[in-house]
Amino acid sequence: MTETRVPVPTLERLAIYLRVLLDAHEAGIQTVSSQEMEQHSGISAAQFRKDLSYFGEFGKPGVGYSVAGLIACIERILRLDEEQPILLVGAGNLGSALVGYPNFKAHRLRIAAVFDNNFVKIGRPFGDLVIEDIARICEVNARIGARLGIIAVPAHAAQEVADALVEAGVTGILNFAPTILRVPPHVHVRNVSFLQELAVLSYHAAADALCVNGQAARGGHDGV
Give the residue-averaged pLDDT of 62-68.
86
Decide if pLDDT at 20 tops 50: yes
Residue 2's pLDDT is what?
Answer: 43
- The 3-state DSSP class for residue 88 equals strand
Q: Return the amino acid letter for 84.
A: Q
Selection from 63, 65, 57 nearest residue 17 by Cα: 65
Residue 159's pLDDT is what?
Answer: 98
Mean pLDDT of the chain: 89
Decide if pLDDT at 188 tops 90: yes
Q: Return the amino acid letter for 223.
A: G
| b (16+ CB within 10 A) / e for 33-50 | ebebbeebbebeeebbee
Backbone angles phi, psi at 181, to 5 degrees: -95, 145
Quick one: pLDDT band at residue 224, thresholds 50, 70, 90?
very low
Decide if pLDDT at 190 tops 90: yes
Residue 187 to residue 151: CA distance in whole angstroms: 14
Give the residue-averaged pLDDT of 5-33.
92
Residue 33 is inside which H or E element, if any? none
Could you please report the per-residue DSSP string of 44-77? -HHHHHHHHHTT----BTTTBEEHHHHHHHHHHH
Decide if pLDDT at 141 tops 70: yes
Q: Return the amino acid letter for 28.
A: G
**pLDDT tens digits for 75-93?**
999 999 899 999 999 999 9
**pLDDT tens digits for 207-219?**
766 666 666 555 6
**Given phi > 0 = left and psi -120 to 50 = alpha, else beta, which region is 213?**
alpha
Q: Residues 88, 115: contact at Cβ < 8 Å?
A: yes
- Cα dist from 216 to 206, 212, 221, whole Å: 15, 6, 9
Quick one: pLDDT band at residue 1, thresholds 50, 70, 90?
very low
Tell me which DSSP letter residue 153 carries.
Answer: S
